Chains A and B, each alone.
Chain A
Amino acid sequence: MSKSAMLEVKKNDPIGTLRDFSRDLLEKKVVDALLIPKKLPSGDGYCQTLIRNPEMLVDVNPLAPTLPVQSARLISHLTIMDPGCKVGAVLKSCEIRAVIELVKFLQVKLDRLILIGVDCLGTYEPSDYAKMSREKGKGSSVTGNLLKGAREGKIKPQDGYDLRLACQICEYPNPQKAAIIIGLFGHNPQKEIYVELRDGLAGELAEKGILATTEKGSSSRDSVIERLMEERLKRRDEVFDAFRSRVQNLQDLMDALSTCIRCHNCMVACPICYCKECVFKTPTFEHKADQFLRWADRKGGVRMPTDTLLFHLIRLSHMVTSCIGCGLCDSACPNDLPVATLFRTVGQKVQGLLDYTPGRSVDEEPPVATFKEDELQGESGTT
Chain B
Amino acid sequence: MEEFEPRIIAFLCHWCTYTGADLAGTTRQQYPPNIRIIHMMCSGAVDTIYILKALIDGADGVLIGGCHPGDCHYQTGNYKARRRVAILKEILDQVGFTEDRVWLRWISASEGKVFADTVTQMVEELKKMGPNPMKKLWLA
Classify chain A: how many residues form its interface, as a range. 35 or more
- Which residues of chain A are near B87, meaning CB under 8 Å? 317, 320-321, 350, 353-354, 367-368
Asked if B56 contacts A310 (CB within 8 A), the reply is yes
Return A170 CB to nearest CB of chain B, in Å: 21
- Which residues of chain B are near A320, meaning CB under 8 Å? 87, 91
Asked if A314 contacts B83 (CB within 8 A), the reply is no
Q: List residues of A (327-383) whose CB comes within 8 Å of B's CBs.
A: 342, 345-346, 349-350, 353-354, 367-368, 370-373, 375-376, 379-382
Asked if B76 contacts A371 (CB within 8 A), the reply is yes
Q: Please, what's the 1-or-0 string for A301-324, where 1 marks a CB less than 8 Å from any CB in chain B?
A: 111000111100110111011000
- Which residues of chain A are near B103, meaning CB under 8 Å? 381
Q: Quick one: given A314-B48, A373-B69, are A309 and B82 in contact (CB under 8 Å)?
A: no
Q: Quick one: given A310-B53, A317-B87, A371-B79, are A299 and B95 in contact (CB under 8 Å)?
A: no
Return A383 CB to nearest CB of chain B, in Å: 12
Asked if B140 contacts A346 (CB within 8 A), the reply is no
Return B88 CB to nearest CB of chain A, in Å: 5
B1 at the interface (CB under 8 A from A): no
CA distance in complex: A250, B95 (Å): 7
B84's partner among A249, A258, A368 (CB-CB below 8 A) is A368
B86 at the interface (CB under 8 A from A): yes
Q: List residues of B (52-91) whose CB comes within 8 Å of A's CBs.
A: 52-53, 56-58, 69-70, 76, 79-80, 82-91
B136 at the interface (CB under 8 A from A): yes
- Which residues of chain B are near A313, meaning CB under 8 Å? 48, 52, 91-92, 95
CA distance in complex: A314, B51 (Å): 10
- Taking CB as reference atom, which chain B residue is nearest A257? B139
- Which residues of chain B are near A279, meaning CB under 8 Å? 49
Q: Quick one: given A317-B52, A379-B85, are A350 and B91 in contact (CB under 8 Å)?
A: yes
Asked if A309 contacts B56 (CB within 8 A), the reply is yes
Subset of 14 A-B contacts with CB under 8 Å: A249-B97, A252-B96, A308-B140, A309-B139, A310-B52, A316-B91, A317-B88, A353-B86, A367-B87, A371-B76, A371-B83, A375-B83, A376-B86, A380-B104
Binding site for B on A (CB under 8 A): 247-250, 252-254, 258, 279, 295, 298-303, 307-310, 313-314, 316-318, 320-321, 342, 345-346, 349-350, 353-354, 367-368, 370-373, 375-376, 379-382
